[in-house]
Chain A
Amino acid sequence: MRVTWGMMLDNMLSGMNLSSAAMIRYQNQLATGKRVQKPSDDPAGVVRILSLRATLDQVETHLSNITQGQQWLAVTEAGLGRAADITAQALDCARRGSSDVLPQAARETIAAEVSELLDALLATANSRHVDRYVFAGTRNRDVPFNFIGDPPTGYAYAGDAGRLSWEMEPGVTQQVNVPGESLLGPAMEALISLRDNLLTGDTAAVSSTDMTAIDRAHSVLLTAITDVGAKVRRLDECEAGLTAVRHVVFDQLNRYESVDMAEAIMRLQMAEASYAAAQGATARIIRPTLVDLIR
């Protein structure tokens, strides 16, 4: 075999280029911490990375929806709880006021007490989460419940029966609001009627219609509270599930995306060693030629 000058130089040069290219690649990996710099580095991996990122983003969005839903339901639950307390107190008032032996003045005192309860009920019915009224359906930027007249003779509902449904899991929406008017309206009407009947001293009405109405309104509220509790539990379960998914996805993403430092450093060192070897060999071979030896 004839070995020529150009061959030797070419081979040595390409050897050095090869190992310096490897060095650059591992240096890049180490500097950025990313295993995949461009799609062609790992075609299958890139697709996995992109879809894992999309999944991660979706999970994050759903988790944030759930958090908002939980807050919304917490406000709702508290409001309904207060309303149930109020109806319970009103029931107590009605029981006391229904007694025929009570002087009218005492009944009027009880009526004043009911008026207070009515105001508290109105405040509760207008509960807000940040800037939205939770019992107003989808028309929730404006105050939903207003009393008509002073003292109130009825109420006006400015909200609607719309549903607030948010996506909590991929493809699954959940309603987070409760129908405000059908839950709180009867209680208001019952309280107004109780107050009026106490003022007029109509104990028969107080003990029959009013007590029945208040009792019904109370049990409606209790059912709603149970219902909201179930929703909260469902959201909690959802959250736990999604958090687990997020952990897994995050872990996988890391595995695809991040560089294995130990491996990259080892490979970089190998590339450095072969680069140094190529340089050394070049230096040794280039020097002596026959030209140096004849003289």
Chain B
Amino acid sequence: MRTTFFGYELARRALATSQRSIDVAGHNIANASTPGYSRQRVITTATPPYTVPTLIRSGQAGQVGTGAEITSIRRVQSAFLEAQARMVTSDSGAWSRRHEALSRLEAVTNEPGDSGLHALLDRFWMSWQGLSTDPASTSLRQAVTASASSLADGFNRVDRQIRALQTNADEMVRADVYRINSLADQLNGLNQAIRLASGVGDNPNDLLDQRDVILRDLAQAAAVTIREYGDGSIAVAIGGYDLVQQYGVNRLATVNQPGTGFAQVMWEGTGVPLSARSGTLAGAIEMRDTIYAGFLADLDIIADTIAAEVNAIHRTGFDLSSPPETGRDFFDTTVSGARGMRLSAALAGDVSLIAASAGGEAGDGQIAVAIARIRTERLAGLGEHTIDDHYRGLVAGLAVRGQEAERVMHTQELLSRQIDNQRSQESGVSLDEEMVELMKHQHVYTAAARLLTAMDEMVQTLIERTGAGR
């Protein structure tokens, strides 16, 4: 026997189901442009059928449907695409740092430009050539000290600017450490919330989305590996060491290196150094310790070579004093490297102390010729290259690496866009689709309401026509 009010319950379920579906479509529409949002789908199933509960079945057709209900609301998302996106993000984080470092170096060296070191070197050697033709001339001597000072200033300036960039990179390292720690705390909090929600059988879709977004942020800073637990929580490791565990976090700490004062990244309270493979943190460390430091070291070699070679010849020459004096250095070498390149103070104050003469005669310019010729000499200290060649090699290295970084960045960008597109194809909200969904459920709702009316009319007919209550 069918109960009289069976249809009411069925219509109620239909109304509730379509209402909830409309709510979910609304949620999707509202989050159409929320970063990291995965569209949600309502999983509707038919409710268990009503079987007439008698041992001896009557002649009635069995298994009467009882309507529909929502069993779960699930986000549409691909864990594989997420993992890929994280990997690409880590790589492009490192490459963007590399690219930044190289393009800043390009800006600092300013080649090919009129104020680049190459041009300053040109002018320096030319001033010695000039002096060789009229070694006693005060104006030509001044030209030599002027070009030497601007060469030294050029080296000092490039050195200072690169050191500033290095400090800047160090700040990036510290900022990344701070960011990673704060993201780890957020992940820990989300882990707890997700565990609670999963514990009561819910799908914490929006929390999971949030966690994915944070994981992507984290992946940008450092490449991560993830392990999932049955309760929905995850552990996140950087370089094989757990940052976030199922319960609790391990933080990163910075220790100031002796000497440079730059930050060394360690796991807090352990003394274990961080080994990050890619991501912006590893990129910033590479920027600071390899790209900038390497360029500085190369500049130091060039500056020291110039000072040593010029001094060696200059010491053998004689100046304009009477009697002529010899054995004086041209460059002051108390501080070595590009940062310490400086014209000898005595020479800067008195140009007559430039030793251009080989024998002591004022008109002799053999020393000036010899110094000007250093330019074309292959020097053992520079791997049998001339100073010009060596510097050009440095610029070329910068250029090739800069070009590669730009190309890789571009490729990474394309790759990441492709993955984003795939992810968007899978998980993104399509407004058209949601509109269709909306219309569909609106119609279902209308029909269910109509069903209720029909049921109601039927009962009304029964009550009124049979005279019950009369």
Binding site for B on A (CB under 8 A): 1-7, 10-11, 14, 36, 38-44, 46-47, 49-51, 53-54, 57-58, 60-62, 64-65, 68-69, 132, 136-141, 160, 162, 164-167, 170-171, 173, 257, 289-291, 294
Task: Give the complex CA separation of A276 and B361 in angstroms.
Answer: 73
> Could you list some 29 contacts between A and B, CB below 8 A?
A3-B425, A4-B425, A5-B429, A6-B428, A7-B425, A38-B106, A38-B399, A39-B111, A40-B400, A41-B403, A43-B402, A47-B399, A50-B388, A53-B112, A53-B118, A53-B119, A54-B388, A58-B125, A62-B129, A64-B130, A65-B133, A68-B134, A137-B361, A141-B363, A167-B372, A171-B373, A173-B369, A289-B431, A290-B432
Is B64 an interface residue when CB atoms closer than 8 A count as contact? Answer: no
Count of CB-CB pairs between chains A and B under 8 Å: 171
Chain A residues touching B, majority SS:
helix
Task: Give the complex CA separation of A44 and B393 in angstroms.
Answer: 10
- With most chain B CB atoms within 10 A of its CB, the pick from A3, A7, A50, A69 is A50
B123, B396, B417: the one within 8 Å of A47 (CB): B396
> By the criterion CB–CB under 8 Å, are B399 and A40 in contact?
yes
Q: Tell whether A57 pairs with B424 under 8 Å between CB atoms, given A5-B33, A14-B417, A170-B376.
A: no
Is B143 an interface residue when CB atoms closer than 8 A count as contact? Answer: no
Contacts of A4 in B (CB 8 A): 424-425, 428-430
> By the criterion CB–CB under 8 Å, are B402 and A38 in contact?
yes
Tell me the B349-408 residues at the A interface (CB within 8 Å). Answer: 357, 359, 361-366, 369, 372-373, 375-376, 388, 392-393, 395-396, 398-403, 405-406
Contacts of B202 in A (CB 8 A): none
Contacts of B395 in A (CB 8 A): 39, 46-47, 50
Contacts of A165 in B (CB 8 A): 366, 369
> By the criterion CB–CB under 8 Å, are B361 and A138 in contact?
yes
Interface-located stretch among B8-16, B203-211, B433-441? B433-441
Shortest C-beta distance, A190 to chain B (Å), equals 28
Contacts of B406 in A (CB 8 A): 40
A49, A51, A62, A136: the one within 8 Å of B363 (CB): A136
> By the criterion CB–CB under 8 Å, are A132 and B134 in contact?
yes
Q: Tell whether A39 pairs with B398 under 8 Å between CB atoms, given A6-B33, A50-B392, A257-B112.
A: yes
> By the criterion CB–CB under 8 Å, are A49 and B112 in contact?
yes
> By the criterion CB–CB under 8 Å, are B129 and A40 in contact?
no
Contacts of B375 in A (CB 8 A): 58
Is B286 an interface residue when CB atoms closer than 8 A count as contact? Answer: no
Chain B residues touching A, majority SS:
helix
Task: Give the complex CA separation of A162 and B363 in angstroms.
Answer: 8
Q: Chain B: which residue is nearest A1 at the CB level? A: B425
The 7 A-B residue pairs with the shortest CB-CB distance in the complex, in nearest-first order: A40-B402, A39-B399, A4-B428, A43-B399, A138-B363, A138-B361, A138-B364
> By the criterion CB–CB under 8 Å, are B403 and A54 in contact?
no
Task: Give the complex CA separation of A171 and B357 in angstroms.
Answer: 18
Shortest C-beta distance, A264 to chain B (Å), equals 18
> By the criterion CB–CB under 8 Å, are A50 and B118 in contact?
yes
- With most chain B CB atoms within 10 A of its CB, the pick from A4, A7, A14, A36 is A4
Is B51 an interface residue when CB atoms closer than 8 A count as contact? Answer: no
Shortest C-beta distance, B303 to chain A (Å), equals 18
Contacts of A290 in B (CB 8 A): 431-432, 435-436
Shortest C-beta distance, B101 to chain A (Å), equals 12
> By the criterion CB–CB under 8 Å, are A6 and B392 in contact?
no
> By the criterion CB–CB under 8 Å, are B403 and A43 in contact?
yes
Shortest C-beta distance, B221 to chain A (Å), equals 23
Is B107 an interface residue when CB atoms closer than 8 A count as contact? Answer: yes
> By the criterion CB–CB under 8 Å, are A43 and B396 in contact?
yes
Task: Give the complex CA separation of A4 and B432 in angstroms.
Answer: 8
> By the criterion CB–CB under 8 Å, are A2 and B133 in contact?
no
Shortest C-beta distance, A142 to chain B (Å), equals 9
Is B215 an interface residue when CB atoms closer than 8 A count as contact? Answer: no
> By the criterion CB–CB under 8 Å, are B424 and A6 in contact?
yes
Contacts of B357 in A (CB 8 A): 138
- With most chain B CB atoms within 10 A of its CB, the pick from A2, A6, A47 is A6
> By the criterion CB–CB under 8 Å, are A40 and B102 in contact?
yes
> By the criterion CB–CB under 8 Å, are B363 and A7 in contact?
no
Is B136 an interface residue when CB atoms closer than 8 A count as contact? Answer: yes
B126, B363, B364, B393: the one within 8 Å of A61 (CB): B126
Contacts of B119 in A (CB 8 A): 53
